[in-house]
A and B are shown apart, each in its own frame.
Chain A
Amino acid sequence: MSRLAAKFEALAKTGSKALIPFITAGDPRPDFTVPLMHAMVKAGVDIIELGVPFSDPMADGPVIQRASERALTHKMSLKRTLEIAAEFRKTDQETPLVVMGYLNPIEAMGYEDFANAAQRADIDGVLTVDLPPEEGIECSTLLKARGIDPIFLLAPNSSEERVKKMDAAGSGYIYYVSLKGVTGAGHLNAVDVENKLQQIRANTKLPIAIGFGVKDAASAKTIANIGDGVVIGSALISKIEDNIDNLDQASNEIIELLISIRQAMDN
């Protein structure tokens, strides 16, 4: 069983939900990321999504766009993101790690080389925003053969047929994009999410993590009551942006926010 499947199974037994932070690798500089990952685990997160910086992040709002830009000024790349993951793994063999990004860096590396490198870095899942299952069979087959879960997205306008497709193509979990929009948008509607989740769950047994639009303890708690996991990204990365001259402060504020979310989700 993959680390992701085991994690969701263990959480389900205790009735708890997965807290999943998203951060961009190398933002604002490469040496900031690994210590932050360890600190987030201490704060009680269950899974980490590590964003691969890309020059043209089409599905992301301004906060994550700027995170990519900051990381790219330090020549961050897919290769160096995997190095960061491997570095983290040296002292944490428990926490599932998902690499999330856009397809072109993987195209440039080559699918097979990427799958091998991800395996060496001991990555658990790969989520490629602009690679739907129709185009992604070659890549996901290579990943699955190495015990890595290909994770796919579902959206508010996804049909039942799409849900079945993701159920067949994906593993680990499904990432439900809670709203029509880009990351960090602020118009999450819990009733809509709940209704949609019913339709999704009727067609898949995969755990469902919900992201886009989760920004604080209150919205995380609402979402945790509906899904199996809560993804929070832009709200964390904003702390880096707000404290760009004092990264200790940035790190402290991220941890404080995660602790408050953890408490809200568990109560």
Chain B
Amino acid sequence: MTEKYNMPDERGHFGPYGGVFVAETLMPPIKELNAAYQHYLSDPEFIRELDADLKYYVGRPSPLYHAERWSRELGGAQIYLKREDLNHTGSHKINNTVGQALLAKRMGKTRIIAETGAGQHGVATATIAARLGLECVVYMGAVDVARQSLNVYRMKLLGATVVAVESGSKTLKDALNEALRDWVTNVDNTFYIIGTVAGPHPYPAMVRDFQSIIGREAKEQCIEATGRLPDALVACVGGGSNAIGLFYPFIEDKSVKMYGVEAAGDGVSTGRHSAPLCAGRPGVLHGNRTYLMCDDDGEIIETHSISAGLDYPGVGPEHAWLKDTGRANYVNITDTEALEGFYALTRMEGIIPALESSHAMAYTMKLAPTMNKDETIIINLSGRGDKDMQTMAKLEGIEL
């Protein structure tokens, strides 16, 4: 059943997607980064240090938790949660920042920049920068600064400078634009830690490789718990780093179905959503070719989602490829449905998920009842909901 999967090609292409689409000034640092990454990927000392950080600093392996009560309630497949919410800093984002920061250090870079949407990647970057004593600047859309103020405060506590980006739609895509502008200006001493599987090559492959620890552990843990591979994987998709982290080690296991859950916002038919794979078209943004939300003129459309971390008009190029080849299924969940997922996990299992991860919970509520009791679903619980308390309280009309 297995078929060799070896994407991307050496210039970063996943079929027609991916690649390197950047202004000339960024070509040399990207080449430098790619060379360093290829080198350290097989350097035993680098791998040893990374593994030690993941174990003692991040707290890996994260548990694979059998949500028995919730599984019973839904009356179908057995649901297992990959507990990335239990990582240091509260989400899967730290897996990648630990890896890229080690790379930055070895490359002699003294300054770290990052973009962030919900603030989870910003916090994970500020955290590792603090630990390594590196200067850190985080770009965040002004809209996101307002709705994720708790994370802004955390980043500042950690010593990072948070720049509120006022251009364009003032959300994640604009933060990425501004980080790219910073990089082009400070290219000599600066390492750009991209938080998702997008951007120019090698970022999509590199971030995937750092995040695929999620899927490698989950596979082993699932076999240990159930004696076999899972039947389905479910993960939310904004840029797609937590989803690819879970999916990648299973790509060659054809019996395992994969579901990437995009944010439908007010509903895909309303146009107010963040679901480029479900309702977008191929194009080029932020250094790679992928599915985008853009109009007929190629201008990027403003996105909408209740979760800042999914509020992005593009998606990692590998997801575009997995969609076109049919290896993964991409579905969508509205804001309202995501909230149902949020409450369900909170009250059934005593685990408060991030609003991003709540999209995966909500899709599982549709999927699990259609499956047999002896089948298994693994959901990537990519982050915890602490950062969303203000948003939730506001929705419920409660003043904290």
* Interface residue ranges, A against B (CB under 8 Å): 53-59, 61-62, 65, 69, 72, 77-79, 102-109, 129-132, 134-135, 152-159, 162, 177, 180-182, 185
Contact = CB atoms under 8 A, between A and B. Distances in A.
A65 B169 CA distance: 13
Nearest to A108: B298
A158 B185 contact: no
Contacts of B130: none
A153 B298 CA distance: 22
A155 B167 CA distance: 25
Interface in B20-61: 20-25, 27-29
A162 B25 CA distance: 11
A158 B24 contact: yes
Contacts of A61: 181
Given A54-B299, A105-B298, A108-B283, A182 B181 contact: yes
Contacts of B20: 132, 134-135
B284 A130 contact: yes
Given A78-B297, A130-B287, A180-B187, 18 more contacts: A54-B299, A56-B177, A56-B285, A56-B300, A61-B181, A77-B299, A78-B298, A104-B292, A104-B298, A104-B299, A104-B300, A105-B297, A108-B295, A129-B23, A155-B25, A157-B28, A162-B24, A180-B188
Interface string B276-320: 000001111111010010111111100000000000000000000
Q: List the 6 closest pairs (A to B, CB-CB), nearest first.
A: A108-B298, A105-B298, A77-B297, A153-B24, A155-B25, A104-B298
Nearest to B166: A62
A188 B307 CA distance: 42
Contacts of B184: 59, 180-182
Contacts of B295: 108
Interface string B367-395: 00000000000000000000000000000
B114 to A, nearest CB: 16
B298 A109 contact: yes
A185 B20 CA distance: 25
Contacts of A59: 23, 25, 180-181, 184
A79 B24 contact: no
Contact of A108 (B173, B185, B297): B297
Interface centre among A56, A154, A158, A182, by most chain B C-beta atoms within 10 angstroms, is A56
Contacts of A130: 21-23, 284, 287
Contacts of B22: 130, 132
Chain B contact-residue range equals 35 or more
Contacts of A132: 20-22, 24, 27
B304 to A, nearest CB: 16
Best-buried of A58, A108, A130, A152 by chain B (most CB within 10 Å): A58
10 contacts: A54-B298, A59-B25, A72-B299, A104-B294, A107-B289, A108-B283, A108-B295, A132-B27, A155-B23, A155-B28
A58 B286 contact: yes
B312 to A, nearest CB: 12
Contacts of B283: 104, 107-108
A62 B187 CA distance: 19
B23 A55 contact: no
Contacts of B294: 55, 104, 108
Contacts of B27: 132, 155, 158, 162
B11 interface: yes
